[in-house]
Chain A
Amino acid sequence: MVLLRGGLAALAAAAAAAAVAGSPSPPPAAQPEAKPPTAAEYDTPAPPFELGLFPCTGCHTDAGNPKPRELGFHDEQQPLRHGQNLWCLDCHDQKKRDFLHLINGEQLPFSESYRLCGQCHGDKLRDWKVGVHGKRIGRWDGKKTYYLCVQCHNPHAPRFKGVETKEIGGVVMQRPIATPTRPEPAPRRPQEAR
């Protein structure tokens, strides 16, 4: 499947968008509002937001300061343990606060965050798309739900530690946690069974 996205999609004129109407490629970045956040190419569960943290516009209503710096708030995400010299607005969009953005400026909803991750981790994105990296549930012969990268990796400290399944805001979802996994009980030895 050829995907019209990235720079190509951002540069595409409205006429080009009309020409590819009906294809799975997203509309150009000029009109991201047209796209509901769930209508993604892959069926993914809701992103595992902390309750009260999303939407970002709950607090961030002004333009904000685009200068990279240490924040006096968001202690839970600091220090950022992801890459080098990265900071919030490298991934989060400054203008449209409830969205992320790609390196080319295309704004994308949190439900499509895998495209953002894939900008650097292209090999993992390739494996994820075919279902080899990460987890899929559903049907082997049909509709599958793709777990997002952020359902196992905390984007602010992505090294895998463990996951938990938790109900957040009425939705049961898997999300990364910092505590390692405790195994289920060992099988009983044959001599214990007697």
Chain B
Amino acid sequence: MSATGNRSLPVLQQAAPEARAEDPSRRQFLQAAAAAGAAAALGACDVEGALRRHFKELSKDEVARLLAKIERDHARRFGKKDWKATALGPRPGVEFGYGLDLSRCIGCRRCVYACVKENNQSRDPQIHWIRVLEMDKVRGVDVIESDIYYQADAVPRPGKFYMPVQCHQCRNPPCVKVCPVQATWTEPDGITVVDYDWCIGCRCCMAACPYGARHFNWTEPHIEAAEVNPDLHILGNRVRPKGVVEKCTFCIQRTRAGRYPACVEICPVGARKFGNLLDPSSEIRYVMENKRVFVFKEELNTRPRFYYFYAT
């Protein structure tokens, strides 16, 4: 080590320990930069949200104030509704897993629009958390040759199969690693969430994600007031500000309350399975133990909690 040190440039050798010692100030700088960046992105209307501390450092009171503020903001923007914002936390002993049956999916895109509706995605410009890839049966899973813009009078089309892709909720998530401000992290129940007030909109996570699961709000999201889902989660489907990244959260507002995600409930062929990976009697465990399961882009070592399988 010392021999290596002698050979290195002196300036580097000295700089390393100092940089470590200065970590707190560096963090402060980043926090200030993040807050300033978010404030610029959000505009003056959401200064309170933008200047707060990181979500994980908030006290219960601060979270409650934030939730009340979210409800107020939604009521002001979309009118009177039964707004209910929660910050429902993860349950102990729960790790969510998802299975999608490729032998059943018919590519009808019902899941895409159920997700948009449930999670208050922007209708214009369009943001879809789920993308359905149409592929040739003879080629197999071949992303480059796949088509998400297929139009048809009837699905499934002959010779084709369909592979919906959404956030894989990785155990080794590249998007979390690259975030310069820790605005995104994986919760104990396996859901990777985004703190929309903390995100600076650098879009590094979008570049890092191999599944194309992250989406950027280039403009203020446009949603008809009548279509906004009033059941909100602070880390999930509350209407996003302009300039932040959003992603699938396994419908955090539903699943943490014990319900199935919207895409599972809408799927007309029952191709989507959801459950607790730590519960041996859950359907997702049955799938993993008894069916042919494959992991999309397994070679990238992202270790997803989202599995594709063939039930037949």
Q: Interface of A with B (CB < 8 Å)? A: 127, 130-142, 147, 152, 160, 162-163, 174, 179-189, 193
Contacts and interface: CB of A to CB of B under 8 A. Distances in A.
A184 B259 CA distance: 25
B282 A186 contact: no
B108 interface: yes
Interface in B263-298: 264-265, 267-270, 273-276, 282-283, 286-287, 290-291
Contacts of A130: 283, 286
Nearest to B287: A132
Contacts of B50: none
Contacts of A141: 258, 276
A186 B283 contact: no
Contacts of B74: none
Given A181-B155, A193-B126, A133 B283 contact: no
21 contacts: A131-B273, A132-B101, A132-B286, A135-B270, A136-B283, A137-B264, A139-B260, A140-B275, A142-B258, A160-B269, A180-B154, A181-B268, A183-B109, A183-B150, A186-B148, A186-B151, A187-B112, A187-B128, A187-B131, A188-B126, A193-B125
Contact of A184 (B109, B154, B273, B275): B109
Contacts of B150: 183, 186
A187 to B, nearest CB: 5
Given A181-B154, A187-B128, A134 B270 contact: yes
B284 to A, nearest CB: 9
Contacts of A181: 106, 108, 154-155, 268
A136 B270 contact: yes
A137 to B, nearest CB: 5
Contacts of B143: none
Nearest to B106: A181
B113 interface: yes
Given A131-B283, A132-B273, A182-B155, A140 B131 contact: no
Which of B101, B149, B283 has the most C-beta atoms of chain A within 10 angstroms of its own C-beta?
B283
Given A127-B311, A130-B286, A137-B265, A152 B270 contact: yes
Interface of B: 101, 106-110, 112-113, 125-126, 128, 131, 148-155, 255, 258-260, 264-265, 267-270, 273-276, 282-283, 286-287, 290-291, 311
Contacts of A182: 108, 152-155
Contacts of A135: 267-270
A183 B125 contact: no
A186 B259 contact: no
A19 B42 CA distance: 68
Contacts of A183: 107-109, 150-152, 155
A163 B268 contact: yes
A142 B113 CA distance: 26
Nearest to B130: A187
Given A139-B258, A184-B113, 13 more contacts: A131-B273, A131-B286, A132-B283, A132-B286, A136-B260, A140-B260, A163-B268, A179-B154, A182-B154, A183-B108, A183-B109, A183-B155, A186-B149
